[in-house]
């Protein structure tokens, strides 16, 4: 009950986040320029957040969002260096705009506020948010979701300034990562996604929970389609943009290919396993003898330390004993795995597992990776739009429909390339149009939007433009139909300010009896 009361009071009493951050900064050795930038970021978030949560309905509460940033600065940032372009310090960055060193809790960044906020988000991320048992995607999908979340964190100060909403694609660290993240967030909700990203333990299998939620909301078929696409796309994106993970995957690819090659010769494979088993058994026996004999243990201690550098030397015989016990445990585990492989059923399972691994791994060094990513992104959008139809069908109130209209408008204006937004992509036009038509029909049904024409196609051509206009409050929109020579135009107004003039390309002739309003008369769109 106390927590509810505190939350209620938080809404009444405006928190002084500026003062709270200043207290944190007093204990940090940041220079004045860095402190000033951090305070400026906080001010801009406070200024922009109301518009941000209006445009993008499913976001964190402002209080929660700001507190997470202050918490990250307090607990994860010991050193923040803001460096000038072409300075000696900037040489540390190479061709990058920032450097995040998690182990040192250090950020080095050019004086760009959105980049600094990205670094603050990044420094708190767990590299892996998916359990090890999900091979490859434990790293690749973790990477894609984490990068997407970092980009998402920057959005309030990147795209909003307190009076307008503008997205400049080149300012987004990765358009594809952002789009994939927003697809997932819209389908599954920010609360679940936030818990997943912030999870620091693997008690809960969030990937399994993700599957369950997708299946519950959109059905088994869509869940499987979406997850398979995300798996492949995450491998492609990681191979293209994360050199560190790609290098490891390339090494694993060679190992998998070698194992598959050996498995083809069944007799040779059994011989090699038998040989490895004998060697392991000998090593385990030798370790047992050493661990149970003081003299032998002392000799092992001296032998190992002889070749180790000073900083890596084993501190005592007792520590060596502990190390050897762990090494023995690993060898026993390996021996157990080898025994299982001699079982015909397990052999078949291993072969199938390796083939699945190879299927994903072979994608990492394809020459046409850019084209593959583009195709997979488009396929993901088609699956997303099919799922969104289900969301619309389940909506039962006027408030839900309004939220879906805002949410889908946000989606339509997401960049999919440097030059195009979602609503400008012809490959998904039919799926997108179907969703827009459904939303408009639902809005009519709940008397949220007036019917502008008795002809459904004319009504659609007039109203579809609400999904492509960057006004903050859609409810303030008014519309006016005008005719110039033989062409018809839609004029959109945000309150009394003229926003856009759009030609109705697909309608050559409109009869007065087709319309429910007068030409050249400004009409409010939302009731």
- Residue 390 within a domain: no
Please classify residue 512 by burial: count the beta carbons closer than 10 Å to its beta carbon, then call 0-12 exposed, 13-18 middle and 19+ buried: exposed
Please tell me whether residues 12 and 115 are part of one structural domain.
Answer: yes
241-274 exposure pattern, b = at least 16 Cβ within 10 A, e = fewer: bbeebbeebeeebeebeebeeebeeeeebeeebe
- Residue 163 within a domain: no
Please classify residue 36 by burial: count the beta carbons closer than 10 Å to its beta carbon, then call 0-12 exposed, 13-18 middle and 19+ buried: middle
DSSP alpha helix (H) spans, 292-368 = 294-306, 317-341, 344-361
Selected residue with higher pLDDT from 361 and 62: 62
174-183, 326-335, 482-491, 499-508: range with highest mean pLDDT? 174-183
Rounded Cα distance between 190 and 174, Å, is 20
Q: Which of 285, 309, 342 is the last residue of a domain?
A: 342
Q: Which of 452, 335, 413, 380 is nearest to 165 (CA)?
A: 413
Selected residue with higher pLDDT from 279 and 8: 279
The pLDDT-based confidence of 507 (bands split at 50, 70, 90) is low
- Residue 461 within a domain: yes
Per-residue pLDDT, averaged over 20-33, amounts to 94
Parent domain of 434:
408-524
Rounded Cα distance between 40 and 52, Å, is 17
Please tell me whether residues 24 and 101 are part of one structural domain.
Answer: yes
Per-residue pLDDT, averaged over 156-180, amounts to 95
Q: Which of 124, 143, 158 is the last residue of a domain?
A: 124
Does 5 have pLDDT greater than 60? no
Q: Which of 124, 152, 178 is the last residue of a domain?
A: 124
Please tell me whether residues 2 and 119 are part of one structural domain.
Answer: yes
Q: What is the pLDDT of residues 192-250, one digit of tens each?
A: 999 999 887 778 899 999 999 999 999 999 999 999 999 999 999 999 999 888 888 88
- Residue 463 within a domain: yes
Number of structural domains the chain divides into: 3
The pLDDT-based confidence of 306 (bands split at 50, 70, 90) is confident
Rounded Cα distance between 131 and 121, Å, is 22
pLDDT attached to residue 9: 44
Q: What is the pLDDT of residues 258-271, one digit of tens each?
A: 888 877 777 777 78
- Residue 13 within a domain: yes
- Residue 5 within a domain: yes
Q: What is the pLDDT of residues 342-358, one digit of tens each?
A: 777 767 777 788 888 88
- Residue 151 within a domain: no
Mean pLDDT across the chain, nearest whole number? 89
Q: Alpha carbon 356 to chain centroid distance?
A: 24
Q: Which of 52, 54, 84, 77 is nearest to 65 (CA)?
A: 52
- Residue 453 within a domain: yes
Q: What is the pLDDT of residues 286-302, one digit of tens each?
A: 999 999 998 899 988 88
Asked whether the beta carbons of 143 and 217 are under 8 A apart, the reply is no
The pLDDT-based confidence of 2 (bands split at 50, 70, 90) is very low
pLDDT attached to residue 12: 40
Please tell me whether residues 335 and 448 are part of one structural domain.
Answer: no
């Amino acid at each position: 009950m106390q927590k509810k009361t505190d939350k209620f009071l938080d809404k009444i009493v405006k928190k002084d986040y500026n003062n709270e951050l200043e207290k944190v900064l007093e204990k940090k050795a940041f220079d004045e320029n860095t402190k000033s930038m951090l305070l400026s970021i906080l001010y801009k978030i406070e200024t922009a957040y109301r518009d941000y949560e209006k445009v993008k309905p499913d976001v964190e509460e402002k209080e929660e969002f700001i507190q997470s940033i202050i918490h990250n600065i307090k607990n994860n940032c010991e050193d923040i260096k803001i460096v000038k372009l072409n300075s000696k310090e900037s040489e540390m960055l190479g061709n990058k705009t920032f450097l995040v060193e998690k182990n040192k809790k250090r950020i080095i960044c050019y004086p760009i506020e959105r980049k600094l906020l990205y670094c603050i988000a990044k420094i708190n991320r767990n590299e892996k948010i998916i359990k090890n048992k999900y091979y490859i995607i434990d790293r690749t999908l973790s990477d894609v979701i984490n990068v997407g979340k970092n980009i998402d964190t920057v959005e309030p100060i990147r795209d909003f300034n307190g009076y307008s909403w503008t997205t400049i694609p080149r300012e987004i660290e990765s358009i594809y990562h952002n789009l994939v993240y927003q697809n997932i967030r819209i389908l599954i909700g920010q609360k679940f996604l936030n818990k997943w990203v912030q999870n620091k333990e693997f008690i809960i299998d969030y990937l399994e929970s993700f599957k369950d939620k997708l299946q519950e909301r959109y059905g088994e078929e869509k869940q499987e389609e979406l997850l398979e696409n995300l798996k492949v796309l995450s491998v492609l994106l990681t191979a293209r943009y994360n050199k560190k993970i790609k290098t490891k995957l390339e090494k694993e690819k060679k190992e998998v290919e070698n194992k598959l090659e050996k498995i083809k010769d069944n007799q040779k494979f059994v011989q090699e396993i038998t040989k490895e088993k004998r060697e392991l058994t000998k090593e385990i026996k030798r370790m047992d003898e050493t661990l149970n004999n003081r003299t032998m243990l002392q000799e092992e201690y001296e032998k190992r330390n002889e070749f180790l550098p000073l900083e890596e030397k084993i501190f005592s015989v007792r520590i060596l004993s502990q190390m050897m016990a762990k090494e023995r445990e690993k060898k026993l585990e390996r021996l157990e795995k080898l025994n299982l492989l001699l079982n015909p059923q397990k052999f078949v399972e291993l072969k199938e597992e390796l083939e699945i691994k190879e299927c994903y791994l072979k994608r990492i060094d394809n020459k046409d990776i850019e084209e593959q990513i583009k195709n997979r992104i488009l396929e993901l959008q088609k699956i997303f739009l099919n799922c969104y139809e289900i969301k619309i069908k389940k909506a039962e109130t006027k408030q839900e429909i309004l939220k879906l209209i805002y949410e889908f408008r946000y989606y339509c204006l997401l960049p999919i390339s440097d030059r195009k937004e979602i609503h400008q992509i012809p490959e998904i036009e039919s799926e997108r149009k179907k969703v827009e038509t459904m939303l408009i029909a639902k809005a009519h049904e709940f008397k949220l939007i007036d019917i502008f024409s008795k002809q459904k196609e004319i009504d659609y051509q007039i109203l579809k433009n609400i999904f492509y206009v960057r006004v903050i409050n859609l409810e303030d929109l008014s519309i006016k139909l005008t005719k110039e020579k033989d062409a018809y135009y839609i004029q959109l107004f945000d309150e009394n300010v003229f926003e856009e003039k759009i030609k109705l390309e697909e309608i050559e002739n409109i009869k007065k009896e087709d319309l429910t309003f007068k030409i050249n008369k400004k009409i409010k769109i939302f009731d």
